[in-house]
Amino acid sequence: MNEQEKREKVIKGLECCMGEGQSYGMCDDCPYTTGKMVCNLGTLHQDALMLLKAEEPVEPKKNDVEMCGLRTWEWACPVCNTILVYRANYCSGCGRAVKWE
């Protein structure tokens, strides 16, 4: 399941469990429903938390490099290893927010 599918599943689960006329944790159409028509709220909460944490800004990593016999460094995204423009707000490779300080 890709990130978009996970996000859609969590949104559907949250909307279903918060729907009017529903008993909390007992939804007909919820993707987190177990065989007894009761939602697995622990898994729903865990999936939602995982998606939120994946959106947190990351601190850039500093890589030592050698160019033309000189030692220098470059900044890279710790998620996808794309080289970052110094002080860029987002990684151009994966789109994660970058926290410089």
Name the residue range of residue 80's domain. Answer: 57-101
Do 39 and 9 fall within a single domain?
A: yes
Do 28 and 71 fall within a single domain?
A: no
Do 100 and 61 fall within a single domain?
A: yes
Do 80 and 98 fall within a single domain?
A: yes
pLDDT in tens, 6-30: 999 999 888 887 765 555 556 667 8
Q: How many domains does the chain have?
A: 2
Query: Do 76 and 61 form a contact (C-beta atoms < 8 A)?
Result: yes
Look up the pTM and report it. Answer: 0.64
State which H helix or E strand residue 73 sits in: strand 70-76
Q: Beta 70-76 vs 61-67: how paired, if at all?
A: antiparallel
pLDDT in tens, 41-76: 889 999 999 999 888 999 999 999 998 899 999 999
| Rounded Cα–Cα distance for residues 94 and 43 (Å) | 26
Identify the sign of the CA torsion 51, 85, 81, 58: negative
The confidence score (pLDDT) of residue 2 equals 86
pLDDT in tens, 76-85: 999 999 999 9
